[in-house]
Amino acid sequence: MASIREIKNRIGSVKFTRQITKAMKMVAASKLRKSQNKAKPLINYSNKLNKILNNTYFYENEKIFNFYLLKKEVKNILIIVIASDRGLCGSYNSNVFRKFNNYVKDFSDKNIDVISIGKKTLNFFKKKEYNLNKDYSGMWNNLNLNSIKELSDHLLGLYADNTYDKIDILYNEFKSGTLQVPVVEGFLPIPESESIKNKKEFYYEPSRFSIIEDLIKDSLKIQIYKSFLVASISEHSARMVAMSKATENAGDLLKDLKIVYNRSRQAAITKEMLEIVGGAEAISDS
């Protein structure tokens, strides 16, 4: 059995750990609220932009030809894998990587390359045989429309010069405070939308055909940005839950340690009293 001093030191260590996890939970909760406030208007804007885009190239059963809508024979696939820079967020990262492993099984006869987002993603693919097209490990530290445009232009260029026939985005989608689901979202070619209900008639200047390419590029850029922001919400939510659970576990461990400490202290006192009584009896008998 551990000594009283060892148990006392361990109690102090657990208390310190609980303070850290509690603070990390509060920080994650604050970042979660900020991410949600930042993502909400962008998601609304993205949905509205997609409706306009769908009305534009699916208008009166007439589809506008555009290279980014053209489906090719799939031989080369690029997957943008979005995970975090840091750990301590439960199964957030491992779920993304598990989804990747399951997803690529359907394309075992294809050439698959990846773009890594986040340090955890880079570390994961260092141990894999997949070709790394580009690494954006530092993107989370400089996430803005300019960095998103750089990534978007890079992807559009890769698709336009036929380097890849299909480009997908893999990230954790936020469902609730305790649930984040990894999803694979088609990026290029642009997925064909279902028939649009309640189509609205728009007037185009100079023409519908002349603005479609710019509209597509803007839509794709916003789609990537939205994926990052939703992934960020999922990360902070997962970390908040993980740190909350860690804080609870530390509290439970602290209770158990205090019980062990009190029992050990009581046993030590009892032993000392018995030794004193035994010594006194020995003296009286002599």
pLDDT of 184-202, one tens digit each? 999 999 876 654 455 566 6
Q: Indicate if 63 and 48 belong to the same structural domain.
A: yes
Say how many residues make up the chain.
Answer: 286
The predicted model gives 8-37 an average pLDDT of: 93
- Spatial distance between the Cα atoms of 20 and 173, rounded to a whole number of angstroms: 27
Domain count, the chain: 2
> Could you tell me which of 89, 94, 92, 84 has the C-alpha nearest to residue 119?
84
CATH number of 170's domain: 3.40.1380.10
Check if the beta carbon of residue 116 is closer than 8 Å to that of residue 125: yes
- Spatial distance between the Cα atoms of 19 and 33, rounded to a whole number of angstroms: 22
Q: Indicate if 258 and 217 belong to the same structural domain.
A: no
Q: Indicate if 65 and 165 belong to the same structural domain.
A: yes
Widest distance between CA atoms in the chain: 118
The predicted model gives 154-180 an average pLDDT of: 92
- Whether 84 shows a pLDDT value over 90: the answer reads yes
Copy the structure tokens of residue 53.
């885009």
pLDDT reported for residue 72 = 85
Q: Indicate if 12 and 95 belong to the same structural domain.
A: no
- Spatial distance between the Cα atoms of 216 and 205, rounded to a whole number of angstroms: 16
Q: Indicate if 137 and 74 belong to the same structural domain.
A: yes
Check if the beta carbon of residue 166 is closer than 8 Å to that of residue 189: yes
18 versus 69: the higher-pLDDT residue is 18
pLDDT reported for residue 82 = 97
pLDDT reported for residue 215 = 83
Overall pTM surpassing 0.75 (yes/no) = yes
The predicted model gives 234-259 an average pLDDT of: 93
Check if the beta carbon of residue 242 is closer than 8 Å to that of residue 20: no
CA–CA distance from 104 to each of 107, 164, 169, 190, 270 (Å)? 5, 15, 13, 20, 66
Q: Indicate if 225 and 263 belong to the same structural domain.
A: no
- Whether 100 shows a pLDDT value over 90: the answer reads yes
Q: Indicate if 34 and 167 belong to the same structural domain.
A: yes
Q: Indicate if 15 and 93 belong to the same structural domain.
A: no
Residue % of the chain over a pLDDT of 90: 56
Q: Indicate if 66 and 140 belong to the same structural domain.
A: yes
pLDDT reported for residue 199 = 58
Q: Is 276 helix (H, G, I), strand (E, B) or coil?
A: helix
- Whether 57 shows a pLDDT value over 80: the answer reads no
How confident is residue 157, by pLDDT bands cut at 50, 70 and 90?
very high
Other CB atoms within 10 Å distance of the CB of residue 192 = 12
- DSSP structure class, residue 136: E
- DSSP structure class, residue 40: H
Q: Indicate if 203 and 71 belong to the same structural domain.
A: yes
- Whether 71 shows a pLDDT value over 60: the answer reads yes
Residue % of the chain over a pLDDT of 70: 89
Q: Which domain holds residue 277?
A: 4-24+242-285
CATH number of 256's domain: 1.10.287.80
Q: Indicate if 178 and 108 belong to the same structural domain.
A: yes
Mean pLDDT, the chain, whole residue set: 86
- Whether 3 shows a pLDDT value over 70: the answer reads yes
| pLDDT tens by residue, 215-241 | 888 889 999 999 999 999 999 999 999
- Whether 269 shows a pLDDT value over 90: the answer reads no
Q: Indicate if 182 and 270 belong to the same structural domain.
A: no
pLDDT reported for residue 65 = 60
